[in-house]
């Protein structure tokens, strides 16, 4: 390095003297007088083991970190090196270090024989991951085995002799200047309050997603994917969410992490439209049929690097609709079926039931965060293991049981274990599909259900149970807000739903979703923007299945379904301005429950169902695919004819005609219009008559 640069660096260091600085202090070369303003320097944090660099850190011939600091500073970087920026390093991980990592642009891990086992390096790397800082790895000595295991797949820059230092420095400088964008999370589920990390399946899945090599194909043609499979309720969706939130995954798939709820009755064209039209701003007209949607999305994804999460897949053929062959995009799938996972090209990762130790850690984490293994809990770990074993290692069952301990229904771990083994299974007789029924979950769910409102009157407790049962009418893949719950529960005052909702949240029977990007608010760049949103909630599909079984057993299904439909008819019916684009875009957040309500009402409340569908004609034509809208219209046609509801029949025929015109099916369109004309004449609907003509 030129003497002038050395002198300049020494001058900068000297200026610090014994002053006290607050926050992150970076060393950066001063600008030349009169020079035009430059872009802010890239801030680089050095993480290393002092044992690897030695104590003679002022001599650049003996200290690689001193030499790096000087040369990177001279090259225009702002360097945070504890020997200069924090010379009086304390014995504990300090707020200054966390602030420096949080504000850095690049986290440089200087790997060597001492770094991998250094508690300081481990703490700094954890902090970097928590703040999603891009990690660059260089190897100063030893071998590549000295790089931490979870960074082993990162392309480390080799600084070891005999490689020329100047060449390695050039590589490092170029790497540090490369952009490292972080993917936006689009409709991705939040992680639970206490997330139990399961390192082995997490690492296997992340390596599979981020690696170029994919496991040999089992069947031809489907896109490359990573499939997480295992029993219902054991944490597949939570693991997928953890992967979606992971910084390495977000940097790998920088164009977006897109979460799609698939379920048992998916509409492929609608799923593809969500990716192509909603997220990447392609024309929705290109997604009316499955074949057109696949062709359109293939064009959109050609220059994208995105991860598409398909949650709760039941049919492997759905995977084949996503055209990511030859692109940098990947799929992450969750499914209960190991056979399905094997039919999909890529890595198959089984998620097993929790071990007793894992179950104990989950209980401890839920009952006493943020210190899940405090002294008190360590004495209870044996009992926590017993509870985990009693519940068969079923994650959802253990979580529900832990909440009973946290909420004080069980006095202690021994009492909880006694309650779980007491008496017969009250839910054994419930009629559920074999895919949903689980004896271990039933033991824990009964405690949660029976314990609702334990400090309230019998009447209030029964009311809470009724409210849980009513959730059984909600769409499996949908979310909901408090206003929808208030209507479903028959509350005249929406605020009356607050306390019952809190009780269900505390019991783990409902989960809160953090407000995320608006599903129908594309930005100019074609990416969904965040929009102010009311809090929304969801429920695990297994809990929904038990709620519905209880609802049917009590004979309450029809009344609850009617309230469910009435809410959406009132919210999205004729009184709304269905020409307002902002309003139409807002409907999509409710579309799963809206479809469930319409499907029920077309069988049980034909006239208001046909009227609601007619009011939503503009929404379905513009914001949903034909494969979603046409089956609804065909059902409405059948129902309106059977009920003799002429206005509904006329409007449905006209809507089918309009849809046929859009698909260039002109003969079919004329036939629908010809049938609608005399009906409009019969009821004297001149506007409908004019539009049909």
How does pLDDT run across 75-127, given as a tens digit for each residue? Answer: 999 999 988 877 555 545 578 888 999 999 999 999 999 998 898 899 999 89
pLDDT of residue 86: 73
Q: Which residues pair with 522 in a beta bridge?
A: 528
* Most confident of the ranges 373-377, 397-401, 522-526: 397-401
Q: Are strands 346-350 and 256-263 parallel, antiparallel or unpaired?
A: unpaired
Which two three-digit tokens encode residue 405? 């301990």
Torsions phi, psi of 546, nearest 5? -70, -35
CA 619 to mean position of chain CA atoms? 26
Q: Are strands 78-80 and 157-158 parallel, antiparallel or unpaired?
A: unpaired
* Distance between CA atoms of residues 125 and 120, nearest Å: 9
The residue with tokens 């069988």 is: 603
Give the mean pLDDT of the chain: 87
Question: What CATH class is the domain 185-350?
Answer: alpha beta
Mind giving me the DSSP string for 123-170?
HHHHHHHHTTPPEEEEE-SS-GGGS-GGGTTS--EE--TTS-HHHHHH
Q: Are strands 528-530 and 517-522 parallel, antiparallel or unpaired?
A: antiparallel
Nearest alpha-carbon partner for 161 in 146, 139, 181: 139
Nearest alpha-carbon partner for 682 in 652, 647, 658, 648: 647
The residue with tokens 């008819």 is: 569
Q: Within 13 Å, how many C-alpha atoms sit on residue 36's CB side?
A: 1
pLDDT of residue 433: 84
Cα–Cα distance list, 344 to 215, 241, 572 (Å): 10, 20, 39
Contact 422, 374 (CB under 8 A): no
Which two three-digit tokens encode residue 64? 């690689």
Alpha helices in 421-556 (DSSP H): 439-450, 458-470, 482-488, 498-506, 541-553
Domain ranges for the chain, please list them.
3-177, 185-350, 555-692
Coil, strand or helix: which one is 27?
Answer: strand
Coil, strand or helix: which one is 296?
Answer: helix
Model confidence band, residue 193 (pLDDT cutoffs 50, 70, 90)? confident
* Distance between CA atoms of residues 589 and 586, nearest Å: 6
Residues 488-537: tens digit of each pLDDT: 999 999 999 999 999 999 999 999 986 543 333 333 333 333 444 689 99
Model confidence band, residue 180 (pLDDT cutoffs 50, 70, 90)? confident
pLDDT higher than 60, residue 548: yes
* Helices vs strands, H then E, count in the chain: 32, 16
Which two three-digit tokens encode residue 453? 């409102």
Percent of the chain with pLDDT over 90: 70
Residues 305-339: tens digit of each pLDDT: 999 999 999 999 999 999 999 999 999 999 999 99
Which two three-digit tokens encode residue 26? 């970076």
Residues 35-87: tens digit of each pLDDT: 555 678 999 999 999 999 988 888 999 999 999 999 999 999 999 998 887 75
- My answer on whether omega of the bond before 205 falls inside 30° of 0, hence cis, is no
Alpha helices in 391-433 (DSSP H): 395-406, 413-420
Cβ neighbours, 10 Å, residue 336? 18
pLDDT higher than 50, residue 588: yes
Contact 379, 258 (CB under 8 A): no
**Which of 156-160, 161-165, 368-372, 486-490 is least confident?**
368-372
pLDDT of residue 371: 56
CATH superfamily of 555-692: Tetratricopeptide repeat domain (1.25.40.10)
Q: Which residues make Cβ contacts (< 8 Å) with residue 146, sequence separation at least 6? A: 111, 112, 113, 115, 116, 139
Cα–Cα distance list, 441 to 174, 416, 471 (Å): 54, 15, 18
pLDDT higher than 90, residue 567: yes
Does the pTM of the predicted model rise above 0.75?
yes
The residue with tokens 């079923």 is: 394
pLDDT higher than 60, residue 571: yes
Contact 145, 176 (CB under 8 A): no
CATH superfamily of 3-177: Toll/interleukin-1 receptor homology (TIR) domain (3.40.50.10140)
pLDDT of residue 149: 82
Alpha helices in 478-605 (DSSP H): 482-488, 498-506, 541-553, 557-572, 581-586, 591-604
Model confidence band, residue 465 (pLDDT cutoffs 50, 70, 90)? very high
Contact 451, 542 (CB under 8 A): no
**Nearest 10 degrees: Cα torsion 304, 310, 316, 321:** -40
pLDDT of residue 536: 94
Nearest alpha-carbon partner for 254 in 170, 132, 365: 132
Q: Within 13 Å, how many C-alpha atoms sit on residue 510's CB side?
A: 31
* Distance between CA atoms of residues 289 and 625, nearest Å: 7
pLDDT of residue 95: 81
Which two three-digit tokens encode residue 239? 């693991």
pLDDT higher than 50, residue 216: no
Helix (H) or strand (E) holding 229: strand 225-229
pLDDT of residue 237: 96
Quick check: do 3-177 and 555-692 share a fold? Answer: no
Surface-to-core class of residue 216, CB atoms within 10 Å of its CB (0-12 exposed, 13-18 middle, 19+ buried) = exposed
pLDDT of residue 437: 87
Q: Are strands 256-263 and 185-186 parallel, antiparallel or unpaired?
A: parallel
* Distance between CA atoms of residues 427 and 436, nearest Å: 13
Which two three-digit tokens encode residue 582? 């902002």
The residue with tokens 């943020």 is: 370
Total number of residues shown for the chain: 693
CA 510 to mean position of chain CA atoms? 17
Nearest alpha-carbon partner for 151 in 122, 180, 192, 177: 122
Region 218-232 average pLDDT: 73
Q: Which residues pair with 161 in a beta bridge?
A: none
pLDDT of residue 162: 94
Q: Is the dihedral of CA 288, 294, 295, 300 positive or negative?
A: positive
Coil, strand or helix: which one is 111?
Answer: strand
Q: From edge to edge, which strands make up the β-sheet containing 511-513?
A: 480-481, 536-538, 511-513
pLDDT of residue 87: 56
Residues 7-26: tens digit of each pLDDT: 333 333 333 333 333 344 45
pLDDT of residue 660: 94
Residues 600-659: tens digit of each pLDDT: 999 999 999 999 999 999 999 999 999 999 999 999 999 999 999 999 999 999 999 999
């Amino acid at each position: 390095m030129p003497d002038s640069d050395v002198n300049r660096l020494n001058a900068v260091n000297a200026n610090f003297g014994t002053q006290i600085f607050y926050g992150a202090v970076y060393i950066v070369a001063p600008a030349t007088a009169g020079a035009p303003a430059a872009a802010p320097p890239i801030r680089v944090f050095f993480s290393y083991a002092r044992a690897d660099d030695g104590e003679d850190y002022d001599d650049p011939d003996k200290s690689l970190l001193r030499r790096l600091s000087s040369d990177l500073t001279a090259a225009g970087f702002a360097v945070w090196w504890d020997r200069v920026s924090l010379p009086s390093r304390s014995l504990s991980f300090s707020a200054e270090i966390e602030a420096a990592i949080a504000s850095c642009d690049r986290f440089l891990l200087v790997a060597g024989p001492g770094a991998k086992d250094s508690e300081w390096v481990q703490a700094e790397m954890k902090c970097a991951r928590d703040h999603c800082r891009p990690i660059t790895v260089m190897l100063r000595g030893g071998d590549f085995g000295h790089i931490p295991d979870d960074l082993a797949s990162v392309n480390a820059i080799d600084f070891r002799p005999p490689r020329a230092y100047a060449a390695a420095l050039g590589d490092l400088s170029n790497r540090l200047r490369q952009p490292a964008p972080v993917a936006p999370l689009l409709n991705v589920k939040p992680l639970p309050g206490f997330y139990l990390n399961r390192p082995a399946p997490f690492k296997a899945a992340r390596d599979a997603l981020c690696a170029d090599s994919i496991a040999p194909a089992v069947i031809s043609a489907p896109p490359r994917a990573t499939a997480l499979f295992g029993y219902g309720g054991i944490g597949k969706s939570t693991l997928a969410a953890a992967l979606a939130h992971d910084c390495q995954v977000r940097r790998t798939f920088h164009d977006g992490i897109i979460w799609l709820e698939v379920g048992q009755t998916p509409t492929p064209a609608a799923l593809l439209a969500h990716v192509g039209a909603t997220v990447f701003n392609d024309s929705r007209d290109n997604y009316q049929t499955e074949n057109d949607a696949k062709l359109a999305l293939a064009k959109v994804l050609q220059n994208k690097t995105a991860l598409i999460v398909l949650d709760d897949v039941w049919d492997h053929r759905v995977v084949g609709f996503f055209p990511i062959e030859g692109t940098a995009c990947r799929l992450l799938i969750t499914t209960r079926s190991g056979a399905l996972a094997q039919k999909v090209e890529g890595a198959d990762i089984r998620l097993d039931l929790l071990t007793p130790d894992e179950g104990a850690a989950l209980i401890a984490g839920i009952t006493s965060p943020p210190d899940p293994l405090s002294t008190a809990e360590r004495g209870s770990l044996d009992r926590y293991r017993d509870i985990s074993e009693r519940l068969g290692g079923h994650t959802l069952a253990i979580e529900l049981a832990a909440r009973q301990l946290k909420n004080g229904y069980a006095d202690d771990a021994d009492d909880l274990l006694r309650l779980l083994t007491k008496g017969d299974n009250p839910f054994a007789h419930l009629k559920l599909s074999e895919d949903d029924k689980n004896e271990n979950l039933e033991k824990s769910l009964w405690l949660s259900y029976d314990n609702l409102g334990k400090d309230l009157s019998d009447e209030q407790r029964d009311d809470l149970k009724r409210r849980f049962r009513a959730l059984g009418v909600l769409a499996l893949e949908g979310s909901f807000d408090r206003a929808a719950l208030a209507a479903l529960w028959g509350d005249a005052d929406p605020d009356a739903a607050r306390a019952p909702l809190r009780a269900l949240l505390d019991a783990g029977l409902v989960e809160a979703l953090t407000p995320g990007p608006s599903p129908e608010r594309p930005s100019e760049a074609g990416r969904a923007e965040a929009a102010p949103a009311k809090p929304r909630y969801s429920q695990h599909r297994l809990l929904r299945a038990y709620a519905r079984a209880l609802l049917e057993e009590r004979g309450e299904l029809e009344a609850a379904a009617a309230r469910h439909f009435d809410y959406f008819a009132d919210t999205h019916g004729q009184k709304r301005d269905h020409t307002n684009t902002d309003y139409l875009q807002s409907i999509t957040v409710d579309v799963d429950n809206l479809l469930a309500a319409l499907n029920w009402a077309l069988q049980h409340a034909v006239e208001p169902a046909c009227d609601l569908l007619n009011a939503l004609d503009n929404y379905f034509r513009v914001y949903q695919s034909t494969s979603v809208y046409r089956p609804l219209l065909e059902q409405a046609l059948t129902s309106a004819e059977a009920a003799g509801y002429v206005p509904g029949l006329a409007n449905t025929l006209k809507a089918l005609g309009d849809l046929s015109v859009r698909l260039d099916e002109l003969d079919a369109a004329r036939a629908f219009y010809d049938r609608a004309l005399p009906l409009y004449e019969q009821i004297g609907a001149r506007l409908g008559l004019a539009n049909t003509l």
